[in-house]
Amino acid sequence: MTGVPVNDRYPLIAGETPLEPLERLTAHLGGPRIFVKRDDNTGFGLGGNKVRKLEYLAAAALAQGCDTLLTIGGTQSNHCRQTAAVAARLGMGCELILADGAFMQDHAFAQSGNVLLDRLFGATLHSIAADADRHAALAARAEAIAASGRRPYVIPSGGSSAVGALGYVRAAEELIGQVARLGLGTPLVVQTTGSGGTQAGLLLGLAAARSDMRVVAFSCGGPSSELTPKVRGLLRDTAPLVRPAVDPDAIEVVIRDEQVGEGYGLPTDAGLDAIRLLARLEGILLDPVYTSKSMAGLIALARSGEIARDAAVVFLHTGGSPALFAYESRLGVSSSTGTL
């Protein structure tokens, strides 16, 4: 048994998320054998990978006697939406700092999707410019909350701290068991990476279990030269919390950035094609910001032959489908309604 003490976790996820075959996508591509780890089905607050991190972050906030969760993200942040839901469950206040998505100037992006859910969960929203210093904004708001007599628990963007990354140390153990039960051997794991906590936790969990599974992460925003040091830092910060001991510097970190497109939050043609393909072949929803880019990367690797046709691949679905409603104008889905 590897990982972290259960007592450090506030349970929000009921059981394991499924590991399912994508048989029609596999047939469409002619291989490899593709499976999806359904962390879009974590179930709480419309699900997503951040719930795993928030189980540990919530426990830390409660242990410290905090009464307000404070975090930051983009306008359509999945992490902020899930944080707001957790705060509601805990009976805490929640304040979200949302960096203005200046690249999307329509009502749906500003008011629908995750923003609508943030408000339904009772969060207080603050807006900053897209190019503002997010760390400074977070620190200033935390100081103001404390000055008002409340006790904020500050969560970094994406929940990507050493505490948050523990969620994916635990998820790695879950995945290893599912892979073994399905007899998949040693599949390649494909995921999206941005703030780095999911990738760092997963890599540490696999290393602690002495698993040979490799992880290829596709950036949703920045270049690999910026994201790799971020993940390396989280590996080093989180490793002391993991048992058995792991040398974080011995872990391979693979981040590819060819699917980034114009930048974070900006959908790509390949990503939009992936959204439509998965919806129509498998009835599974990807999102425009994260999973569409990593699925586009997986498809490109399969078509190029970089992934062998007889290989097994696990796609880590990190959620985010509420953002689809905010990107309606970019999805290019035409009406096919007929008249009876």
Catalytically active residues are 77
Burial 22-47 (b: 16+ CB within 10 A, else e): beebbeebebbbbbbbbbbbbebbbb
**Helix (H) or strand (E) run with residue 316 in it:** strand 312-317
CA distances from 303 to 26, 32, 184, 297, 310 (A): 11, 9, 21, 10, 13
Question: Which 3-state string (H, E, C) describes 275-300?
Answer: HHHHHHHHCCCCCCCCHHHHHHHHHH
Position 18: which residue type? P
- Measured between alpha carbons, how far is 277 from 271 in angstroms, rounded to an integer? 10
d(CA 324, CA 313): 25
| 212 burial type by CB count under 10 A (0-12 exposed, 13-18 middle, 19+ buried) | exposed
Question: CA nearest 70: which of 54, 84, 50?
Answer: 84
Q: Which amino acid type is present at position 313?
A: V
Cα–Cα nearest to 158, from 247, 44, 278, 74: 74
